[in-house]
Amino acid sequence: MGRSSKDKRDIYYRLAKEEGWRARSAFKLLQLDEEFQLFEGVRRAVDLCAAPGSWSQVLSRKLKGGAGEGPEAVKIVAVDLQAMAPLPGVVQIQGDITKVSTAQEIIQHFEGQPADLVVCDGAPDVTGLHDIDEYIQAQLLLAALNITTHVLNKGGTFVAKIFRGKDVTLLYSQLRIFFPNVTCAKPRSSRNSSIEAFVVCRGYCPPEGYVPNMSNPLLDHCYDVDFNQLEGPNRVIVPFLACGDLSAYDSDRTYPLQLAPGKEYSYVPPTQPPIRPPYQEACFLKKNNLLAKEPGPPPLEEAGPAPSYGSVLEPQGCPPETAVENVLASLSMSP
């Protein structure tokens, strides 16, 4: 498979490299912003699970722009467990979003002020077992929501990835505790074959007397599984929107390498390779044919020559011709 094959199969992967984005997911946030105007009036933004940094890039380009430094300057903080290459105008924290210390460090970078916008494009390494993937993603989203309650200003916005599974109403119920306006959105750059979508939660308003707590997050004890499995008008449904221009590229379609006449295709390498990814050692071993291989089955024993028709038809040392005649004679004598 040539290096240009993915450029044909994934148009947004190709466009991300050509436009200098670190990952194709940058287009998802851009298309969400087209629909919801997420960046309007934002001065402090947080990107959770930020690596490799495509959403932080979008925040930097959209919010910073030509803004200078000073007390009114836009501040952006990116948080991830993995190391990330530096970005202009973005403060990076290599930390755990389930720790109080991480929330305190975010507020410290904002000089004691809460954030106006929190985004999270984090997702687990999928296993292919949908129930497990949906559960892990749900736990990651709730962890992002929990730290958001520590750092988000009242009236702020929270955007996060979600896997739409059978228990997605439980997540909607949790989000509605803190946000009166919750919408599920699907950007055009997100494949139709994928169960991913994004929740856009606006108007942050925690319950009266609520104190953020990492060790004991607030849960919706009024959630009724049986009620939320009802259908039709009896079920509370979160609005669903498809984001992105209808004339934009289709993420599930294969495009030719030459998109426009007179514009010759040339391969563009990724903008920023991952820094010390967990799979780096495995890739090195595979590339150098050093991966351990399971021993194959033991070799078959040497077998003698295959028996000839003569040996099969030759009874008690008779010549083959006589044996064939005897068989034919017995067949003709049978009733």
Distance CA 27, CA 188 (A): 9
Binding residues for S-adenosyl-L-methionine: 53, 55, 80, 96, 121
Omega of the bond leading into 207 within 30 degrees of 0 (cis) = no
Omega of the bond leading into 52 within 30 degrees of 0 (cis) = yes
The whole-number pLDDT of residue 318 equals 57
List the structure tokens of 324: 């064939």
Residue bearing tokens 């064939």? 324
The whole-number pLDDT of residue 170 equals 84
Percent helix, strand and coil across the chain, each to the nearest 5: 35, 15, 50
Distance CA 38, CA 200 (A): 9
- For the segment 89-111, what is each residue's pLDDT rounded down to a tens digit? 999 999 999 999 999 999 999 99
The whole-number pLDDT of residue 288 equals 87
- For the segment 49-68, what is each residue's pLDDT rounded down to a tens digit? 999 999 999 999 999 874 54
SS3 track for 41-79: CCCEEEEECCCCCHHHHHHHHHHHCCCCCCCCCCEEEEE
- 166 Cβ partners below 8 Å, 6+ apart? 134
pTM: 0.79
Helix (H, G, I), strand (E, B) or coil at 92: strand
- In the chain, the amino acid numbered 334 is S
Distance CA 93, CA 105 (A): 8
Measured in degrees and rounded to the nearest 5, phi and psi for residue 31 equal -70, -30
Distance CA 42, CA 157 (A): 10
Angle, in degrees to the nearest 10, between helices 11-19 and 26-36 = 90
The whole-number pLDDT of residue 161 equals 97
The whole-number pLDDT of residue 244 equals 83
Distance CA 120, CA 196 (A): 13
What does the CA dihedral 202, 208, 209, 214 come to, rounded to 10 degrees?
Answer: -30
Distance CA 276, CA 282 (A): 12
The whole-number pLDDT of residue 39 equals 96
The whole-number pLDDT of residue 225 equals 54
**Residue 201 β-bridge partners:** 158, 182
Distance CA 53, CA 71 (A): 25
In order along the chain (335 residues), what is the average pLDDT of each group of 10 residues? 75 92 96 96 96 95 69 87 92 95 96 97 88 92 95 98 87 91 96 93 94 75 55 66 86 85 83 79 86 65 52 52 58 53
The whole-number pLDDT of residue 2 equals 60
Domains, the chain:
5-282 (3.40.50.150)
Measured in degrees and rounded to the nearest 5, phi and psi for residue 4 equal -90, -5
Could you give the residue numbers annotated as active site? Answer: 161
E-assigned strands of the chain? Answer: 44-48, 75-80, 90-94, 115-120, 152-163, 181-187, 196-202, 240-243
Binding residues: 53, 55, 80, 96, 121
Contact 160, 141 (CB under 8 A): yes
